[in-house]
Amino acid sequence: MRPRAFLLVVVTAAMSTGCSRTAPAPAPADAPGTSGPSPARAGEDASSAAKVFESRILPIFKSQDPSSCARCHLASVDIKDYILPSARDTFLALRDQGLIDLDKPEKSKILALINRGADDPKAAGLISAKRQKAEYEAFAAWIEECAADPAFRNAPKPDKAPVLATKPVEVVRHSRNDQMLESFEKNVWSLRFRCMNCHTEGTPQNDKLVKENGARVAWFKKGGPEATMEYLLASKLIDTENPEKSLLLTKPLGEVKHGGGIKIVVGDQGYKQIRAWVEDVAAMKKGKYAKATDLPPADAGPKQFGTEAWFRLNKTPAAWNGKLLQVDVYAWDAKAGAWEKEPIATSDRVSGDGGWQHTVTLLAAAGSDRAKAWAKGKPALPAGKYLVKVYVDSGEKAKKDWKAPLGADEYVGRAEFQGQWRDGYGAMTVVDAGKVVK
Ligand code: HEC
Ligand code: HEC
């Protein structure tokens, strides 16, 4: 190493003349009491870049607290992933990944990553805002020192590059809070009417249950999906070790005694969605996503919107009793003179004796006008002509494989009807099951 280090001194001494920041002239490497940068030992101990690293960056690396990144990234990102135990390795890794701009240190990409959202008034006063400022200032000061220290600036690209613990961008993207929220809205928030209003904060049903059971039953928050997701993520209702044992599933399944009784069964839409979401949260929190191919398949399905519109199949045959029954509702496209190709609403539930009924969940392709309108206002179906396709899981396929969709094997028939789709249990849209034919 020595001969190489010596070479470096020669090169860097020549370079330092053009350096915008006035650095003290390099002192003889072993002179006692030197305080200025000592290129021969750059990145080891004596340089001020190394000192700043020691006093400001290492404490961040060693901290037990989550970094400021946690405000927007649920997992897969931490400022610690951008730090290695030595100043030199950290510098080389960041530089060689293009995260440091040596000519305009303040424009370094790592600083932009750290500072994202710093001026958001919503963040003011949060612990994470303080942390963000501290992280930003530490990195800004250190990078400036590195950029001014020729020994750092000009350190040759090592044969064996130091490796950061950062995750691929796909993984980072997947675990971002805003992405998680989108998935939460679709998978869990849209289900809230399946839980009737028992858990919806601010409704008379919930107020009553809160009096009897405490504030914990008010977990669908008045503040909306974001507040609800935040609450659930911090609660004990998600079991990251055994996601399928999460109370969010075992309570409505009735596997654990539940004040609301059995509200979902293994493999129904509610189960599928809650399970997929808790599995995803658990995998993220446990750091199970290392590469893009570890991620669950991209969700290409429609957006979902819960409603309080009830649909009933009346006088169902005895053979359907106790079986999981799914309805897919199709709207009439008057312009095309045909049924729409994709269902506009769906629902499923175990059929009762002589009838099946449930609230419907509306479906609209992401980005469509319909999805936009329902996201903005109250999601509802207009009165009109509709078609229902009915599926009955006689072979208990869903129970055996919770991911299996009901399909051609379970199809029992279809019926055309006039839908009024008024809200409320007392105003159901009713279709006689006898009209359901293949
Ligand atoms: C205020 C919210 C917020 C904070 C805080 C935040 N990020 Fe991000 N981050 C985002 C958003 C939003 C994106 C996506 C940006 C885009 O796609 O344009 C992102 C994207 C990223 C990416 C993907 C690559 C890129 O350049 O877009 C990385 C890596 C990243 N952030 C790292 C971090 C690190 C490290 C921290 C903490 C030091 C952090 N982020 C803090 C919101 C944040
Ligand atoms: C008829 C009212 C009712 C319905 C409908 C209902 N629940 Fe409950 N739920 C309760 C009551 C009462 C409790 C409190 C007693 C208990 O823990 O079982 C409770 C408790 C819970 C808890 C535990 C909360 C905690 O922090 O301890 C979870 C999770 C839960 N329910 C999930 C659901 C889900 C998911 C649905 C819908 C798919 C649902 N419930 C439907 C009444 C209901």
CA-nearest residue, atom 31 of ligand 2: 251
Within 8 A by CB and 6+ apart from 163, the residues are 93
- Among 294, 313, 335, give the residue marking a domain's end: 294
Is 262 touching ligand 2 by the criterion CB < 6 Å? Answer: no
Query: Are 102 and 145 spatial neighbours (Cβ–Cβ below 8 Å)?
Result: no
Query: Are 42 and 16 spatial neighbours (Cβ–Cβ below 8 Å)?
Result: no
pLDDT per residue rounded down to tens, the chain (438 residues): 334 433 333 333 333 333 333 334 444 444 444 444 444 444 455 689 999 999 999 999 999 988 999 999 999 999 999 999 999 999 999 999 999 999 999 999 999 999 999 999 888 888 889 999 999 999 999 999 999 999 999 999 999 989 999 999 999 999 999 999 999 999 999 999 989 889 999 999 999 999 999 999 999 999 999 999 999 999 999 999 999 999 999 999 999 999 999 999 999 999 999 999 999 999 999 999 999 999 998 888 999 999 999 999 999 999 999 999 999 999 999 999 999 999 999 999 999 999 999 999 999 999 999 999 999 999 999 999 999 999 999 999 999 999 999 999 999 999 999 999 999 999 999 999 999 999
My answer on whether 400 and 276 are in the same domain is no
Q: In angstroms, what CA-CA distances link 344 with 73, 243, 297, 370?
A: 33, 31, 23, 10
Is 336 touching ligand 1 by the criterion CB < 6 Å? Answer: no
My answer on whether 268 and 357 are in the same domain is no
Residue 31 inside a domain? The answer is no
My answer on whether 334 and 212 are in the same domain is no
My answer on whether 6 and 134 are in the same domain is yes
Query: Are 368 and 232 spatial neighbours (Cβ–Cβ below 8 Å)?
Result: no
Range of the domain at 53: 2-19+39-156
CA-nearest residue, atom 2 of ligand 2: 260
User: Relative to the alpha carbon of 73, which ligand is closest?
Assistant: 1
Which letter does DSSP use for residue 418 in this model? E
Is 237 touching ligand 2 by the criterion CB < 6 Å? Answer: yes
Residue 27 inside a domain? The answer is no
Is 71 touching ligand 1 by the criterion CB < 6 Å? Answer: yes
What does the pLDDT read at residue 380?
A: 97
Site to probe by mutation for ligand 2, drawn from 190, 195, 237, 425 as the one with most ligand atoms within 8 Å of Cβ, is 195
User: Relative to the alpha carbon of 165, which ligand is closest?
Assistant: 1
Is 114 touching ligand 1 by the criterion CB < 6 Å? Answer: yes
My answer on whether 151 and 211 are in the same domain is no
- Chain-centre distance for alpha carbon 419: 36
Is 73 touching ligand 1 by the criterion CB < 6 Å? Answer: yes
Long-range contacts at 372-376 (CB < 8 A, ≥ 24 apart): 374/303, 374/305, 375/303, 375/305
Site to probe by mutation for ligand 2, drawn from 192, 194, 199 as the one with most ligand atoms within 8 Å of Cβ, is 199
Question: 426 phi and psi, to 5 degrees?
Answer: -80, 0
CA-nearest residue, atom 8 of ligand 2: 260
Is 94 touching ligand 1 by the criterion CB < 6 Å? Answer: no
**The whole model's pTM is what?**
0.85
Is 77 touching ligand 1 by the criterion CB < 6 Å? Answer: yes
Long-range contacts at 2-9 (CB < 8 A, ≥ 24 apart): 4/156, 5/40, 6/40, 8/39, 8/40, 8/42, 8/151, 8/154, 8/155, 9/39, 9/40
Decide: residue 79, CB within 10 A, 0-12 exposed, 13-18 middle, 19+ buried. Answer: buried
CA-nearest residue, atom 32 of ligand 1: 113
Q: Alpha-carbon distance 145 to 134, whole Å?
A: 17
My answer on whether 9 and 98 are in the same domain is yes
Q: Alpha-carbon distance 15 to 29, whole Å?
A: 17
Residue 365 inside a domain? The answer is yes
261 CA → ligand 2 middle, Å: 8
What does the pLDDT read at residue 45?
A: 54
Element housing 417 (H / E):
strand 411-419
My answer on whether 151 and 258 are in the same domain is no
340 CA → ligand 1 middle, Å: 40
246 CA → ligand 2 middle, Å: 13
My answer on whether 200 and 147 are in the same domain is no
Beta-strand runs (E) in 236-365? 303-314, 324-333, 338-339, 345-350, 355-364
My answer on whether 288 and 214 are in the same domain is yes
Is 169 touching ligand 1 by the criterion CB < 6 Å? Answer: yes
What is the CB-side half-sphere exposure of residue 71 using CA atoms within 13 A? 21
Residue 30 inside a domain? The answer is no
Question: 354 phi and psi, to 5 degrees?
Answer: 85, 0
Closest ligand 1 atom number to CA of residue 69: 37
Tell me the Cα Rg of the chain: 30
CA-nearest residue, atom 18 of ligand 1: 173
- Exposure class string for 207-237: b at 16+ Cβ within 10 A, else e: eebeeeeeeebbbbbeeebeebbebbeeeeb
What does the pLDDT read at residue 47?
A: 86
Counting the structural domains of the chain, the total is 3
My answer on whether 281 and 222 are in the same domain is yes
- Among 266, 294, 322, give the residue marking a domain's end: 294
Query: Are 255 and 211 spatial neighbours (Cβ–Cβ below 8 Å)?
Result: no
- Among 125, 156, 187, give the residue marking a domain's end: 156
My answer on whether 131 and 197 are in the same domain is no
Residue 166 inside a domain? The answer is no
Is 221 touching ligand 2 by the criterion CB < 6 Å? Answer: no
Residue 282 inside a domain? The answer is yes
77 CA → ligand 1 middle, Å: 8
Residue 264 inside a domain? The answer is yes
Neighbours of 30 (CB within 10 A): 9
Closest ligand 2 atom number to CA of residue 235: 26
Residue 344 inside a domain? The answer is yes
Site to probe by mutation for ligand 2, drawn from 198, 253, 274, 277 as the one with most ligand atoms within 8 Å of Cβ, is 198
My answer on whether 151 and 177 are in the same domain is no
